Structure 1
């Protein structure tokens, strides 16, 4: 403040002034510091080594033996070594003299039956390549077995349903077109109506012509010129309609 009021080259600056020492505020220390240090020290030595600190050392006699990890079947109650062969079933009785002896077939009898038997018919096959590839004729598709079905040659139900839906949609579309055509049909104008319309057009033309004849001879302002042009255009349009009605006897008018 003194520097601002008084310049540096002032008489008041000759007198030395006492310097007041500046004191720093105390360093901030968190109140949770002791708790953090305690938690850090408590968790420091938990995992100093790999695995748990105390491990049971296996004994030398508990080494891995051969076929020790293979699955073993449970021992059955009746093993072959313990069971003894005891024949408890009764033998058949001795045949009587009146019984027929059993027929014993030999190899010779078998050959006789084979020679006298009916030979087996070969299964029909179809060969479809020059290398001799063959397949059963029944599954090859060459046997006309599908024509013997009851519904052979008949139209499936889904095709009949689809045809019916198409026919119904076509009928609805034709009805819609017919209604639109009837609504948009043009009306024939009779002779009396044509004469009445022609008379009305002529009367309108006479009114416009009378108004046109009443215009001033000197047309020097834009409004007069625009009014004259408007009357001329309206008269020309009425004249075209009158000529059209007089030329044609048959006239059709749209209803819209």
Structure 2
């Protein structure tokens, strides 16, 4: 039969059983057992429910009758060797009659109460609305320390520290005064001031004379530079002269 005539063949009309292709083997990870062990460990570590694994009590240790009742201490034997009280008088013995005391107990008690000092109440304090009372002496609210002999006296170590601080401050002040004395400014006398002023004026005249001798045309760079330099020197000398003339008293810092 020609394979090109499948659609035209009558045999194709007969239904055939379709066989399903075989399934491939199921994939199983090689880390399955490792993951399973890790999950068991983590679950066991976080497990909080269930009966606790404790030692089961023995059946012999059941609760017995009167086991929770308090037991009395053992009785002590009486010591008959000690002193005894006088015996009870007999029936035939009679008390001494007719003995009277001259003391007036009523007046004596009244006089003791009148002449006695009134009893002072115990100092207390209340810290709640319900009226809870507490001893005031042991509470720390009473200023007992002011009655001490050394109360208010500066301790010895503080006095010593203050003396050391005072001594260090005096040494520092002396050091500062010595440095100020060494770096003190010197005042110029009138003769020195006049001599400096005349010297500055003389220098200005020399620079001015040199400036006047310059050529009128500054057509080269060296001429321009020289002219600019002489102008700056004249300005500086004029500034110095005006400062010395303005201030009569001048101080010079020592080197």
TM-score (norm 2): 0.47
